Amino acid sequence: MPPGESRKWEDRELPCYVTSFLTVAILGVGLSAKPDLTLETWAHHKALDRLQEKDLAAAGQVPREL
Distance, CA of 7 to CA of 61 (rounded, Å): 77
Q: Is 39 part of any domain?
A: yes
Number of domains forming the structure of the chain: 1
User: CB atoms < 10 A from the CB of 17, how many?
Assistant: 11
- Domain enclosing residue 59, as ranges: 35-66
pTM for the model stands at 0.52
3-58 pLDDT, tens digit per residue, is: 888 989 999 999 999 999 999 999 999 999 988 999 999 999 999 999 999 988 88
Q: Is 57 part of any domain?
A: yes
